[in-house]
Amino acid sequence: MIPASLDSSQRMFADTLAAFRYGSAFGSAPLRSPPLTRPPLYIGIAGGKGVGKDTLANGLASALALPCDSFAARLRQGASTEGTREHVHPELWIRSLFSRLPDGGLVPDVHSTEEARAIRRQGGVVIRITRPGCDGIDLQAGGQPLPATLVDIELHNDRSPADLVRVALDQLMCRGVV
């Protein structure tokens, strides 16, 4: 218990010492301000088949403690993706993803300009991966790669999976994303 007879500077020192020793519940002033809430962080990953999209997503999910989900995860199971996309609302995939990841996450299957724009509208970034021996064209999106204006970070995957994740983290930190 801190005596009430102390002057304000002594009381502040005693409160700080009590908070340090016993936690802020015993002092009248907390040591730290409450944590600031950060806006949701969305990281989309684009690239052709076999370039390392899932590898990068899993590595970043582990490093950044973010969930990983895809635009068509729930809908892909029973139907052809392109065939289904033609018969449903064009925003269905996008709305479905953001409702499943309201606090942000990693999206390893950015195939269309609409998906890339949606991630960027949410304040997220889009990473495109290329790899030697892979043509780099995403055949699921009609054979057209994303325009360069919708890609924030370009990565060349020619080393180990750990190197790919490290380079991506370096690029995200340089841009102030993480």
Name the burial class of residue 58, with classes exposed (0-12), middle (13-18) and buried (19+) by CB atoms within 10 angstroms of its CB: middle
Q: Determine the Cα angle at 112 with ends 108 and 113, to 5°.
A: 115
> Residue 113 is which amino acid?
T
Q: What's the CATH number where 105 sits?
A: 3.40.50.300
Judge if 119 and 96 occupy the same domain: yes
The pLDDT of residue 91 = 80
Number of domains into which the chain is organized: 2
Judge if 119 and 78 occupy the same domain: yes
The pLDDT of residue 52 = 96
The pLDDT of residue 169 = 97
Q: What is the mean pLDDT of each run of 10 residues along the chain (178 residues)?
A: 59 60 51 68 95 96 94 57 62 86 93 93 96 70 80 97 97 94
pTM above 0.75, yes or no: no
Q: Give me the domain span that covers residue 22.
A: 1-36
Q: Is 148 left (phi over 0), alpha (psi -120 to 50) or beta?
A: alpha
Enter the tokens of residue 51.
């370039």
Judge if 48 and 103 occupy the same domain: yes
Judge if 102 and 126 occupy the same domain: yes
The pLDDT of residue 54 = 95
The pLDDT of residue 8 = 62
